[in-house]
A = this chain, B = another copy of it.
Amino acid sequence: MIKRSTAQDVAKAAGVSPTTVSFVLNNIEGMRISPETRDRVLEAARTLNYHPDSSAQKMARGKTSVIGLVLRQNPEKAYADLFIQDVMQGISSVIRENGYQLLFIPLPPEDKEKSYSKLINERHVDGLIVSGPTEDDYELVEAFNDGAKIVLMGKILGSHIPFIDIDNQKSAEMAVAHLAALGHERIGIITNAPLNFASSKDRLQGYRNVLEKNDLPFDEKLVVLGDRTPESGYLAIQELLKVEPLPSAVFIASDTVALGAMNALYENGIHVPDDMAVVGFDDIALARYVIPPLTTIHLPAYSLGLGAANMLIQQINNDFKESSEIILQTRLIIRESSGRNL
């Protein structure tokens, strides 16, 4: 194993001090370095294949240049929810630009041992983007109050943690209103996740609002909980199929869950949209390729990631340009799974 070369080595090779090496390599302004010296250092660094040790830099500079994306889910499910992929793309794009790296952190909700402060205190990360926080994440609030740099995707009521989110309630209303407008009077719902997630609760509320506005009765039996995976949708829709009388449409508050549900419908010989209209939520990349293509709510996942990363970096730099509470617009994408007027 060839030994890594250090700033010392470069300094010696170039006949200067490590200080000068640091100045040259970091392009420090205001430090006068003659062009010849600069070239010599650069040359030495290149021939020695020098790369500064990031840990040493962290120590010296007091920052890590790593930001963490924490997914408040089991590791098994963390990667299952497809919309997170677009989010990651958005985050990646700004992060790279600013010289940060992304650390991926699945953090199961039941993991209660001071995980956030651990993450931050151990200086693994400069800041955190937390996706899908639960409603009662006291530890997160505490960490933020202790000075941790945090941006939420979603929100925690009553906290002052900056967040970027969509209007889940209004978006769900759009989805269900579409179904109602098509003439459906008995509409089921499969939630995206358990109800301790704010997004689930809000989407369910949106569903109820539309029923009320259209004088449709609310039937608890038509509410089934999903849990982010196709599997959960596959199971959930079976529950719905047991209900009498059968709904003619279902709003599934997650495309990923909807994929599983649609398969179960197919297996049961129930045709979408003729026998059962379906509207999803998220507009994952695959939604357009499902058979039949899925009517859904377009959630600007890429922008969500982009915005969150921007907010976080601003926060880290104590440089607040934008508002610390951003709500992004969604829109209804009508494809085939919702069918036509009854």
Contact = CB atoms under 8 A, between A and B. Distances in A.
Interface string A1-28: 1101000000000000000000000000
A188 interface: no
B92 A106 contact: yes
Contacts of A88: 79
A76 interface: yes
A79 B89 contact: yes
A47 to B, nearest CB: 13
Interface string A48-68: 011111111011000010000
B291 A291 contact: yes
Nearest to A259: B289
Interface string A63-90: 0100000000001100110100110110
Chain copies in the assembled complex: 2
A316 to B, nearest CB: 12
Interface in A276-318: 285-286, 288-293
A320 interface: no
Nearest to A292: B266
A158 interface: no
A51 to B, nearest CB: 4
Contact of A54 (B86, B114, B122, B234): B122
A103 interface: yes
A75 B92 contact: yes
Contacts of A266: 291-292
Most interface-central of A53, A118, A292 (chain B CB within 10 A): A53
Report the interface size class on chain A: 35 or more
B80 A121 contact: no
Interface string A101-113: 1111110000000
A293 B264 CA distance: 11
A101 B124 contact: yes
B79 A123 contact: no
Contacts of A146: 1-2
A106 to B, nearest CB: 7
A53 B289 CA distance: 47
Contacts of A80: 85, 285
Contacts of A76: 89
B147 A117 contact: no
Given A75-B89, A79-B85, A285-B80, A121 B49 contact: yes
Interface in A139-154: 146-147
Given A75-B93, A102-B104, A263 B234 contact: no
A104 B103 contact: yes
A226 interface: no
A260 interface: yes
A230 interface: yes
A262 interface: yes
A86 B229 CA distance: 13
Given A75-B89, A101-B103, A285-B230, A121 B290 contact: no
A103 B106 contact: no
A263 B85 CA distance: 21
Given A54-B123, A55-B64, 6 more contacts: A79-B85, A103-B104, A230-B285, A230-B286, A230-B289, A262-B291
Q: Which 10 A-B pairs have the closest CB atoms?
A: A1-B147, A51-B121, A79-B85, A55-B58, A263-B289, A54-B122, A291-B291, A55-B55, A51-B122, A104-B104
